Amino acid sequence: MSLSIRQHVSLKPYNSFGVEVQARAFAEAHDDDEVREALAHARAHGLSLLVIGGGSNLLLTGDQDALVLRMASRGLRILADDGERVLVEAEAGEPWHPFVLWTLEQGLGGLENLSLIPGTVGAAPMQNIGAYGVELKDVFAGLTALDRQSGELRDFALEECRFAYRDSLFKQQPGRWLILRVRFALSRRPTLHLDYGPVCQRLAEQGIERPTPKDVSRAICAIRSEKLPDPAQLGNAGSFFKNPVVSAERAARLRQQHADLVAYPQPDGQVKLAAGWLIERAGWKGFRDGDAGVHRLQALVLVNYGKASGRQLLDLARRIQVDVAARFGVELEIEPNVL
């Protein structure tokens, strides 16, 4: 067996909250064979298998009595290029932002709005990651996953993935599919998505009238760096709550009470509310209870100031949910996977 399995390993380095919990067993898979070895080992020893990527979308609330498998496979390749549309494939263990930068260096557009999102390529379809008007599904061209029930490989097309706002088939069926590699349809003549005011404002401040994908990426990196704390400096998982989607009638009633409500009409007639605005208006921005807190600059981000446990962070999140529901009649849904 080429797979190296260690016993009783701290997961603190492997989750961006920096929560101190232990894994009964831990391994890193660098290719498909090692993934299969991990599955076989877990079955043989009666262990569940917990697959993680960059650990940036996790809240661990206790020790994991499981084999924790970190996807560490690497590889970037161009599968097809007709001079305009380019099909790119990346292994699941590739860190997301370096992958985005690699596509930009190849002269490819499409992923620039998703710059500086933490995590790995394999985790990106789970959440259908999105930022600044673009979601992964907009550039998705397929993926290969291992069916943990049958052991067979399966290729998924866009319509089979059931992508929705921060959701997918793979999130709906936890423990079933293990994503091995993902394909993206990018362009040498991209259409830039500049719908978000802060991005346009940043480019204007720099005197950039005809931005390139690299320009957009740099602007978004600057904005995200100013708004969101670096997990290496302050433990966090980025946005902790999804932006709630409500009916147009509910949004109208809220706007009557709060003229400055931040809301975005959706194509289906519903309205997406800014969870950060709701949390800040409720008075939680900058709140701290021990080492569990809400970031002082971005109310959507829960932070670990050092030694907060996962349960303490989850308790804080529950308190915020209850308060926002009481004040606004809106339910906030937690975005990270709570284990």
The residue extents of the domains of the chain are 5-71, 76-187, 235-338
Is the pLDDT at 301 greater than 60? The verdict is yes
Q: How confident is the model at residue 190 (pLDDT cuts 50, 70, 90)?
A: confident
Q: 10 Å Cβ neighbour count for 291?
A: 15
Query: What confidence tens digit (pLDDT) does each residue in 99-158 have?
Result: 999 999 999 999 999 999 999 999 999 999 999 989 999 999 999 999 999 999 999 999
User: Cβ contacts of residue 277 below 8 Å, gap of 6+?
Assistant: 261, 262, 299
How confident is the model over 23-59, as pLDDT tens digits? 999 999 999 999 999 999 999 999 999 999 999 999 9
Give the fold, CATH level 3, of 76-187: 3.30.465
- To the nearest 10 degrees (0 to 180), the angle between helices 213-227 and 96-105 is 160
166 is catalytic: yes
pLDDT over 60 at 1, yes or no = no
* Beta-sheet pairing, 76-81 with 85-91: antiparallel
Judge whether 187 counts as a catalytic residue: no
Q: Residue 302: its pLDDT value, please?
A: 98
The reported pLDDT for the residue numbered 92 is 98
Assign domain 235-338 to a CATH class.
alpha beta
5-71 and 235-338 have identical folds: no
Q: How confident is the model at residue 309 (pLDDT cuts 50, 70, 90)?
A: very high
pLDDT tens for 194-212 read 877 789 889 988 899 899 9
**What six digits make up the tokens of 32?**
């498909």
Report the pLDDT averaged over residues 179-188: 98
Q: Which residues have C-beta within 8 Å of that of residue 79, sequence separation ≥ 6? A: 87, 88, 89, 183
Average pLDDT over residues 188-196: 87
* Catalytic status, residue 335: yes
Both tokens assigned to 71? 């996807």
Catalytic residue among 28, 239, 281, 309: 239
Question: How does pLDDT run across 67-108, given as a tens digit for each residue?
Answer: 999 999 999 999 999 999 999 999 999 999 999 999 999 999
Candidates 166, 181, 183, 281; catalytic one: 166
Cα radius of gyration (the chain): 21
pLDDT tens digits for 241-277?
999 999 999 999 999 999 999 998 998 999 999 999 9
In CATH, the architecture of 5-71 is: 2-Layer Sandwich (3.30)
What pLDDT does residue 200 have?
A: 86
Predicted TM-score (pTM) of the model is 0.89
Which class for 303: exposed (0-12), middle (13-18), buried (19 or more C-beta within 10 A)? buried
